[in-house]
Amino acid sequence: MRTVSSVLCTPFLCLLLFLFIPQGEAQGQSKIAPVWQPLVARLERDGLSHAQVKAYFATLPPTITQSPMGRKMVDLYKKKFFPNPPPKPTDYYKGVVTQENAAKCRRYLREHAQAFESAAAKYGVSPEIAVALLFVETRLGTVLADVPENAFYTLASMALSRKPQDIAAWLPKMRGHASRLAWIERTMQPRAEWAYRKVRALVRYMLENNIRPEQMPSSIYGAVGLCQFMPSNIPLYGADGNGDGRIDLFCIDDATASLANYLAKHGWKRDNTRAEQHALLMKYNHAAVYANTILALSDLVAATQPPVRER
């Protein structure tokens, strides 16, 4: 006599269960918190109605995280109403441009020589620049996330953060915010739209590569991988550095090829002047101190030493 469990495990009955159990529920659709439903519906209107998308949302907490939009608005608010003086050409990120870090970069170059040499040959970005960029972005892959939230949760939360009350915990960090709530809301709207485009791109990337949200640690604003690409940049600039048919930004070969491809498509050439290199690095991150730091660290990696003034 067969047991109940053995009957339920027959291929025929398993097929029947698969056909008659609603697939949204099988994928966790019923567990999606109400806060995410408008975003699910918008993605569906944009053609992303795959059952797996609902499963992604079922992994999220029942509330948004205020952190990404809150941080962004505090940053924009301070720049607008309490700006700092512009950085000097010798201002660098604190603790980055050191001989110790340059030695780490040189070891990393030796360990991954093929990846860096291949990117240099194809895109014209020197190994010293590429490794310095990777150090500034993720400490050579040792710091892949600035926050506990994954990229999907971060960007989905930002896409739904459209009014000051959505970042209530962060408003006290904006001095005089009570008289500027209209400005805050006007500024949040385009940032939320920006985040929606990024989360849409991230969902497509996860679907195409069979990746779960928890496998996507990120920066405070949803950048992913060793080279910290925003998801919408992956189809534009991502490169398959090891020829395996996938673009995996957590793989050194693909990350190095991708950052080099990004710079090359923005105008990087082997014979760029220092000033041109600086301008192109600011295409990667719109901060002068960022470009200053990469160039200064790359000098140390190449064994020339600039004066150091930390910021």
Confidence at residue 50, expressed as pLDDT on a 0 to 100 scale:
85
Rounded to whole angstroms, the Cα distance separating 183 from 186 reads 5
Rounded to whole angstroms, the Cα distance separating 155 from 183 reads 22
Confidence at residue 223, expressed as pLDDT on a 0 to 100 scale:
97
Comparing CA positions, the residue from 108, 106, 182, 177 lying closest to residue 141 is 108
Three-state secondary structure call for residue 223: coil
Rounded to whole angstroms, the Cα distance separating 138 from 239 reads 19
By the 8 A CB rule, do 92 and 309 touch?
Answer: yes
Confidence at residue 30, expressed as pLDDT on a 0 to 100 scale:
55
Those residues of the chain that have pLDDT short of 70 are 1-30, 304-311
pLDDT digits (tens, 9 = 90+) for 168-214: 999 999 999 999 999 999 999 999 999 999 999 999 999 999 999 99
pLDDT digits (tens, 9 = 90+) for 73-108: 999 999 999 998 887 877 999 999 999 999 999 999
The amino acid at 50 = H
Rounded to whole angstroms, the Cα distance separating 263 from 267 reads 6
Comparing CA positions, the residue from 107, 13, 44, 34 lying closest to residue 301 is 107
Q: Looking up tokens 């957590």, which residue turns up?
A: 250
